[in-house]
Structure 1
Amino acid sequence: MTGPRPVLVLQHAPHEGPGLIGRAIDAPLRVRTVLDLADPVLPALDEVAGVVVMGGPMDADDVRAHPGLAAERALLAAAVDADVPVLGVCLGMQLLGLALGARLLRRHGSEVGFAPVELLADDPVLGALGAQPTVLHWHDDAVELPPGATLLASTAATPVQAFRAGSALGLQFHAEVDAPLLGLWLDTPAMVGRLDEDEVEAIRADGAARLPALAPAAEKLFAGFGELVRARG
């Protein structure tokens, strides 16, 4: 293979792209959607420099409706075993947790909007956000801490907001969202269908107030992941 190996990005909805992740990791991206394929062909781990798994509205264990989720989980388990850098976001973190032996907690508690998260342990990548950053939450499901993983962040509603398992970092919250991506989400009926107009406008206002400071810290976070990717190269 000539040139740097790409980062595989698994996407589950057209509006839930990598956002700041793609800008910050400074590596070519290979975006795939395998959600509804019964037997998807995914690249071999020696063909990629890292794996990023994005969010989506489906339950992480719903392989009957979305059979491709099983292949994603198998890939994530193999990537951690092979020490390949992995980043899982929201649904992606839940898939990572399931791949590592944790249990999905459906409808554990809804968190939608900007709110603080408490960082509980030092991590060379996640630490870029600071000790108690205000971040964007958008989920109903949660996942337990996988066996042997380190709990990195928590909220009262969702005890496992981030974890580290070897080469893998899971984030339940959405640090990847910048102003254009947030605008897209707030204009997408599938994202805001259960929110009333006041809730949507409150998130829009919070984004305008929070993202100018949050986005640079998030870019630093994802640049730290990018350093691991480039080291694998």
Structure 2
Amino acid sequence: MRPVLVITHAPHEGPGLISRGLDAPLRVRTVLDLEDARLPALDEVSGVVVMGGPMDADDVRGHPGLAAERALLAAAVDADVPVLGVCLGMQLLALALGSHLHLRAATEIGFAPVDIDVEDPVLGALGTRPTVLHWHSDTVDLPPGATLLASTEATPVQAFRVGSALGLQFHPELDAGMLDLWLSTPDMVGELGDDEIEEIRAAGGRHLPGLVPAAEKMFAGFGELVRARG
């Protein structure tokens, strides 16, 4: 079986629970700061996963590899290759599909509900109003032709689908160990107070035991699409 391409932007923002749902080898690449960023051809992979990161999704001057990522995402949607974009990955997917990015438009950090309004074969495993981890300050408009799947009051576009591609602004890929990693990573918590960090840690203890099995089921659904491509 062809590998799944996983594009990362920060060492602490790996695929987490996503990898458990993929019955396929992973090919992890980080091309963020490469002027001559080269990513595998789509006929070499069974799916594409693009993870989060702290940079602005439109900062191609500062991070030239983002242009190659956007080009690959647009081509993957055209070729009906299974795509999953998380946080920054969703924003890159949206930009690749002609959407607009809004910087510092809505800061959401911590566990809070998200409204899932439309049935989706992958996202539907989370239910209709799960409490999930949010960690973003930028938002995107719904791309042309996309179906809006989830929203919050602060962030109207929390998830969308375009054909084979699913974008998620929130972070269902974390388990307790990955949350601990984030909460001990200065790049993640540098602007948070100790009380805010402990509040997120405590919320993780309450919500992750129920969220993780639902997220694993969701990512297994994405894995089925990947296996169908082979």
TM bin, normalised by shorter chain, reads over 0.9
- 1:98-109 map, 5 Å: 98-109=95-106
Identity of aligned residues (%): 78
**AA partner of residue 75 (structure 1):** L
The CA distance in 2 between the partners of 1:166 and 1:107, in whole Å, is: 28
Unaligned runs of 5+ in 1: none
The CA distance in 2 between the partners of 1:181 and 1:24, in whole Å, is: 16
The CA distance in 1 between the partners of 2:37 and 2:187, in whole Å, is: 25
Question: Is structure 2 residue 146 aligned with structure 1 residue 153?
Answer: no
Number of the residue aligned with 2:6: 9
Number of the residue aligned with 1:171: 168
88, 91, 94: which one aligns with 2:88: 91
Number of the residue aligned with 2:221: 224
Q: How many residue pairs align between the two structures?
A: 230
Number of the residue aligned with 1:38: 35
The CA distance in 1 between the partners of 2:82 and 2:60, in whole Å, is: 25
The CA distance in 2 between the partners of 1:47 and 1:215, in whole Å, is: 30
TM-score under structure 2 length normalisation: 0.99
163, 178, 182: which one aligns with 1:181: 178
What stretches of structure 1 move > 2 A for 4+ residues in a row? none
The CA distance in 1 between the partners of 2:191 and 2:121, in whole Å, is: 36
Unaligned runs of 5+ in 2: none
Deviations for 1:141-162, whole angstroms, at most 9, x for unmatched residues? Answer: 0111000000000000000000
C-alpha displacement of 1:202: 0.4
Number of the residue aligned with 1:136: 133
SS at match of 1:65: coil
C-alpha displacement of 1:26: 1.8
C-alpha displacement of 1:25: 1.7
**AA partner of residue 99 (structure 1):** A
The CA distance in 2 between the partners of 1:165 and 1:198, in whole Å, is: 39
SS at match of 1:136: strand
The CA distance in 2 between the partners of 1:70 and 1:143, in whole Å, is: 17
SS at match of 2:36: coil
